[in-house]
Amino acid sequence: MSRLLPALAAALAVATATGGQLLFTPAPAAAQEKTAAKAAAPADKKISWKKTVLDTKFRSEGVAAFDVNKDGKVDVVNGEYWYEAPNWTPHELQPPKDFGDPQKNYSRVFCCWGEDLNKDGYQDVIVIPFPGDPAYWMENPKGQAKGADGKALHWKKHVIWHSACNETPQYADLLGTGRRVLIMGFQPEGKSTAGNEGRMGYFTPDEKDPYAKWVMHPLGADPGPGKAAPGSNRFSHGLGVGDVNGDKRKDVLCTDGWWEQPEKADGKTPWVFHPARLGEACADMHTWDMDNDGKADVISTSAHRFGIWWHKQRPATSPGGNPAFQTMPLFPMLVSETHAAVFVDIDGDGVPDLVTGKRFWSHGRSEPGSDAPAMIYWFKNTRTPDGMTTFTPMPIDDDSGIGTQFEVSDINGDGLLDVVSSNKKGVRVIVQVRQ
C-alpha cells in the first residue's frame, strides 16, 4: 500500500511503503528549499505566540522556569542569572562571565532544572555544566537578590557528582515514584574528565544530608578499565527515558540501545542492556507508538546536522533476541542542530506534540545550516484513519532557537504551555496565546 505522509511531505521526500520497507528518495536541493518553506507555512489559527526578549547576551544554553522568591510569579533561571517576573529584572546567581564570541566559545551551563533540594520551601537549581565537568546544584538564598551590603547575593554551589557526561542528561521520574532523578554518564573518579571510560547511572540526593554528593545507582555492569558504557562518553549525544518493551516501567535509551528497568529498581539490581541501532548522534529521545502496532517506537532529532527521525520497533530476528529498529526519516531537511527536544501536549488535545528547534551556532558556523534562521517549531501530533502518526510543523519563532536544553511549561499561569530558551542569541520567553 502506497502512502505519502504529510510529515514526510514536509520532510521534502517521496516515501513509499513496500513490503514493510520504507524507500526514501531525496528531492533535489533546490526543490528541498522550496518545499521546506512551504512545509513550515502551516499554522494553527487558534494558537499564536508572543515573544519577550529578556537578555540579548550569550549567558547559557540551559534554562529553567520556577518561582524563585515565592511571590506567585514564575521566574526564569539559567544558571548565571535569574530574571524576576513580571519585569524580568536580572539578578546574578554567580559572578558573571563573558563568553566572548559565540561562534567560537561555549557557556558553562548546559542544562538547568528547578527543585527544592534542601527542603527549605524554596526551589534551588540543578546545573549540568560543560560536558565532563562536575554537576552541581545552587542553593536559593530564600528568594533574596541582594545581601545587607546591597551587593548581588550569589547562590552557594554544592557538588552533585564529580563528572557529568553525555550532552543530553535527563531529569525525570524514571522510577515512577513521583520524584525525579538525574540520569547521565560519568567518568571514573580520579580519571581525566576528558577520558572515555564512562558508566551510565541515575543519581538521587543523599537522604541523610542534602548537601552531600548524591548517591549513584549504576545502570548495567562496570565495563572495566579503558572501556565505556554506551552513551557515557564526555561528548556522547542522545539520551532519553521511556517504556520500550511495554512492561509499564521506564527504560533509559541511547543511540546504541536501551537499559531495561528491572522489576525491582532498588539501585543495586543491574539493568540489562539491549543493543539496538537507534540512529545518528541526537538529543532527547522519546518513545511513542508511531504506527499503532502496539510497540513503542523511538523519536529522535539530530544534535548538529539535519534530521528528525522515528525508529520503528520490529520483532527480534531470532528467538529470545533483542528487538530490531528501522530508522524512518520524518524531516530530513527542515531544520538543523536540533540539540534538544521536548514531547508535551501543546494544543491540549490529550496527545503529546514534539517541540524542538535550532541550537544556533552549536559549533559556530561549521555545521550544516548553521546560519539559517533560529527556528523553534512545535509539531502537531495527529493520527490518520489507519492509525499512523503524522507530525505537522508549526512555527513558534524564527529568531530564538533553543540551547542544549530548554523549558516548556506554563510560565504565566493561564493553563497553556509556553517556551523558554537561553542560548547564543540570549534569553527569551515565548508565551502561547489562544484566539
What average pLDDT does the segment 110-122 reach? Answer: 98
What is the C-alpha to C-alpha distance for residues 34 and 12, in angstroms, rounded to an integer?
9
6: three-class secondary structure by DSSP: helix
pLDDT in tens, 216-238: 999 988 888 888 999 999 999 99
What is the C-alpha radius of gyration for the chain, rounded to an integer number of angstroms? 21
Peptide bond into 86 cis (omega under 30): yes
Coil, helix or strand for 257? strand
Which among 157, 153, 227 has a CA at the least distance from the CA of 197? 227
Give the integer Cα–Cα distance in Å for 120 and 102.
37
Residue 9: per-residue pLDDT: 39
* Confidence band of 213 (pLDDT split at 50, 70, 90): very high
Decide: helix, strand or coil at residue 29.
helix
Distance CA(397)–CA(347), nearest Å, equals 16
In this structure, the number of other CB atoms found within 10 A of the CB of residue 173 comes to 12
Dig out the grid coordinates for 59 from the structure. Answer: 549567558
Torsion of CA 253, 250, 186, 338, to 10 degrees: 50
DSSP category for residue 417: -
Instruction: Report residue 320's pLDDT band, with 50, 70 and 90 as the boundaries.
Output: confident
Residue 1 binned pLDDT confidence (cut-offs 50, 70, 90)? very low
d(CA 11, CA 26) in angstroms, rounded, equals 9
DSSP-based helix, strand, coil % in the chain, nearest 5: 5, 40, 55
pLDDT at position 317: 83
- In whole angstroms, give the CA distance from residue 259 to residue 183: 12
Count Cα atoms within 13 angstroms, Cβ side, for 231: 36
d(Cα 83, Cα 339) in Å, to the nearest integer? 24
Per-residue pLDDT band for 25 (boundaries 50, 70, 90) equals very low
Nearest to 107 by CA among 63, 163, 65, 58: 58
Confidence of residue 428 (pLDDT cuts 50, 70, 90): very high
Q: Convert the pLDDT of each residue in 150-171 to its tens digit.
A: 999 999 999 999 999 999 999 9
* pLDDT score of 321 more than 60: yes
Q: How many helices (H) and strands (E) does the chain have?
A: 2, 31
User: Terminal CA-to-CA distance of the chain, rounded, Å?
Assistant: 39
Residues 121 and 222: their CA atoms lie apart, in Å, by 38
**What is the spatial distance between Cα 93 and Cα 77, in angstroms, rounded to a whole number?**
9
* pLDDT tens sequence across 370-409: 999 999 999 999 999 999 999 999 999 999 999 999 999 9
Length of the chain: 435
Percent pLDDT > 90 in the chain is 80
Q: C-alpha grid cell for residue 281?
A: 548522534
What rounded mean pLDDT belongs to the chain?
A: 89
